[in-house]
A = this chain, B = another copy of it.
Amino acid sequence: MKISSSCIFTDIPTELPEELCQTLLTKPNVRIERIVSKGHCSAEHDWYDQNQDEWVLLLQGRARLAFTNADSIELNPGDYLLIPAHCKHRVDWTSPDTETVWLAIHLFAAEA
């Protein structure tokens, strides 16, 4: 089998009218995504409430996540965190000046 690599910072469209979300790998219980934002954020009262844990690593750009307990977290390149299942959160802000590239790893609970 021929093994090859890809670069996570390439193939970003010049125009990003909407946030770009692409699945890089799907396995049982795991989905690895690249998300590219440029000034995009969640609507004001639009909270993500996910059934699965999500591990997030900011690779490029800048972003801010907000949580329902009024906490917010600023993210710079290299910052990572685990967002537990059902921890409501929204993307409060992403840099309008540059593409913000996220790695998101969705961790689905193993079936009982």
Residues of A bordering B, CB below 8 Å: 1-10, 24-25, 27-30, 32, 53, 55, 57, 59, 67, 71, 73, 75-84, 87, 89, 103, 105, 107, 109-111
Contacts and interface: CB of A to CB of B under 8 A. Distances in A.
Please give the count of copies of this chain that the complex contains: 2
Nearest to A6: B80
Main secondary structure of the interface of A (DSSP, over half): strand
A24 B83 contact: no
B5 A81 contact: yes
A71 B29 contact: no
B110 A29 contact: yes
Contacts of A80: 5-8, 24
A5 B33 CA distance: 19
